Amino acid sequence: MAEVEQMTIGPGCEVTMHYSLSLPDGFVADASEPEQPLTFIMGDGSLVQGLEFALYGLKAGDTQSVELDPLHAFGYPDPENVHGLPRSDFAADMPLDIGTVITFSTPSGEEIDGMIKEVKGDEVIVDFNHLLAGHNVIFEVEILDIKPPASQIKGDT
């Protein structure tokens, strides 16, 4: 009897997986919940390119653990992404402790996280770089399911 070839992850595949993203010191920065795996389409921008690249060729049931340097994960901090904002832009009762992460809305409606770096008088210095920029990360996955790209599903027009 011929063995059926198992689908591997490639461009456009729908992937369902459990994952964790941690720093080398063991701090878990993000992870899927036990009953809520992540489902996404390869190439849709859900994952940074380096994380996505680590998934290519995996099959349902596979596990993978890979350490990625900043270049292949979330990049290096860009000084252009650090901005001084007037203290008056923040609620008067909001504590502005160094290291506090605040979600800001951009003029286009996009939400972006910024970390308080410093408070200088009436100015609050906020770092809008990705919180993991400049860090090696450990990306661990368990692939639960893979579906072919929509363009390959029979009956699609």
- Residue 76: the pLDDT is 97
Mean pLDDT by 10 residues, the chain (157 residues): 75 96 96 96 92 95 96 96 95 92 90 94 95 96 94 57
CATH number of 14-75+132-150: 3.10.50.40
- Residue 151: the pLDDT is 72
Specify burial of residue 70 (Cβ count, 10 A radius: 0-12, 13-18, 19+): middle
CATH number of 80-127: 2.40.10.330
| Domain locations along the chain | 14-75+132-150, 80-127
Specify burial of residue 79 (Cβ count, 10 A radius: 0-12, 13-18, 19+): exposed
